[in-house]
Structure 1
Amino acid sequence: MFERFTREAREVVVGAQQEARALRHGRIGTEHLLLGLLAQPGTTSARALGRHGITRQVVVDALAPLAGDDLDAAALTSVGIDLDAVRTTVEATFGPGALDAPRDPREPSGHIPFTPRAKKVLELSLREALAMRSRSITDGHILLGLLREGAGLAMKVLYDRGVDLPALRDELRLVLDS
């Protein structure tokens, strides 16, 4: 299937893997595909998402509370604990990166697998391309696949931000048909 992907669509998949790795996630989910779509500002999908108020930073900010970090800097500051001062002291004593979480040996160091939902999005992108009689799968088809799948963290972000999903779908189809 990947041989049908355009260069931009392949970059979305590579970008999704990079986003998952940067966030220290062991699997590539729909949220990483959404971030991968937004990592290329000039693409059809990034422009369409931008017209609906969705940027990379909006998605990153929306995902932050869902990440499950144990330390909430604002809460600690409210009780008089300065996280930056703690980090500086610990790193001065034990070396830079002493507070960084150790790499889980079970976590893949090379290829990161896709979640079943993310795999479904990629499969649906192929179906969208075929339905539109397109010979290749573009980044826009990946976004259509994401919308068609209709669930996962990416859709939660879009829904919570009030994106008019039918309008976004119609815009994409119009652009891809031209």
Structure 2
Amino acid sequence: MKNRLKELRQLHQWSQSDLARELGVSRQAVNGFESGKFDPSLDMAFKIANLFHVAIEDVFIYEAKHTMQTLVERVKNFFGFEFGFERFTEKAIDALNFARNEAARSQNLQVEPEHLLAGLLADSTTTSARLLRANGVKLDIETNEHSFESRENLEFSPQSKFILELALQIVRLQGKKSIGTEHLLWGVVRLAETDKAILSELFQRYEIDAVALNNQLTETV
């Protein structure tokens, strides 16, 4: 994968050893990243982007053009055809069903991150809802006896698929088998850090304290 890692490192006047120390990896790993001999994990890619205070696509050039296609294929390989729900907890499935229904109700053609966020808030008993309400969210999500039924089959937008991939990645890193609402929320927060334009307005609308939420979410996940 082509990248600007060497360029960014040199702008900071860091050696490969300096960067390796910041990332907690070997110098050989940094050399491998820079040369494109092997790709960093998604978690390491985010760590690199955050270290240089840039978006992930500003570091990894190939992913800037093909991120969504590549990540969606990786999700499909893990979940099976079209995001099989067997990997999700029951509460996470409810959140995704609500998001799909909400997208259809608002006449959207795809499930966007804003619909996922609403789904993560809809059931007040979930970990995601408790975390969101503990960090600024006061908006109540209206629900009824049909809100969590699987009634719509809308596709997820590229950004929403990216959130699912991020949730998958953190579960893999933890060695767990199930994706819960907290992992979906983790994906939303990571996407907000990577592409602030997508979710900044939404976070402001919900009055979310993103810094506090991230700190609590890191402890929870």
State the TM-score, normalized to the length of structure 1: 0.63
Q: What are the equivalent positions in structure 2 for 1:6-25 lying under 5 Å apart?
A: 6-25=89-108
Describe the SS at the equivalent of 2:156.
coil
Mapped pair 1:116 → 2:199: no
Query: Aligned-pair distance for 1:159?
Result: 4.2
* Equivalent residue, structure 2, for 1:129: 171
CA contact under 8 A between 2:186 and 2:217: conserved in structure 1?
yes
Equivalent-residue separation in structure 1 for 2:165 and 2:138 (angstroms): 24
Unmatched 5+ stretches in structure 2: 1-78, 80-84, 142-150
- The residue that corresponds to 1:157 in the other structure is 202
TM-score normalised to structure 2 length: 0.51
Instruction: Work out whether residues 101 and 152 of structure 2, in 8 Å CA contact, stay in contact via their aligned partners in 1.
Output: no
Cα distance in 2 for partners of 1:46, 1:158 equals: 14
Q: Could you tell me how far apart the structure 2 residues matched to 1:166 and 1:135 are?
A: 28
Matched, 1:166 2:208: no
Q: Given that residues 100 and 152 in structure 2 are in contact (C-alpha distance below 8 angstroms), is that contact kept between their aligned partners in structure 1?
A: no
Residue type at the aligned position of 1:170: N
Whichever residue aligns with residue 100 of structure 2, its letter is Q
Post-superposition CA distance 1:104-135 (Å, at most 9, x none): xxxxx952111100010011111121223322
Alignment-derived partner of residue 141 in structure 1: 183
Q: Secondary structure at the match of 1:167?
A: helix
The residue type equivalent to 1:157 in the other structure is: L
* C-alpha spacing 1:114/1:23, structure 2 compared with 1 (3 Å): same
Corresponding residue for 1:42?
A: 125
- Across the aligned residues of Structure 1 and Structure 2, the Cα RMSD in angstroms comes to 2.2
Q: Which amino acid aligns with 2:201?
A: K
Shift of 1:174: 1.8
Cα contact 2:97–2:152 (8 A) shared by 1:
no
Q: Number of matched residues?
A: 126
Which stretch has the larger CA shift, 142-151 or 166-175?
Answer: 166-175
Q: Kindly state the Cα deviation for residue 55 of structure 1 after the two structures are TM-superposed.
A: 4.0
**AA at the equivalent of 1:169:** N
Per-residue displacement from partner, 1:54-106 (whole Å, max 9, x unpaired)?
14448xxxxxxxxxxxxxxxxxxxxxxxxxxxxxxxxxxxxxxxxxxxxxxxx
Counting aligned pairs with the same residue, the percent is 33
Unpaired segments of 5 or more residues in structure 1?
Answer: 59-108
Q: Which has the higher contact order (CA 8 A, sep 6+)?
A: 1
Counterpart of 1:165, as a letter, is A
Moved more, 25-34 or 154-163: 154-163
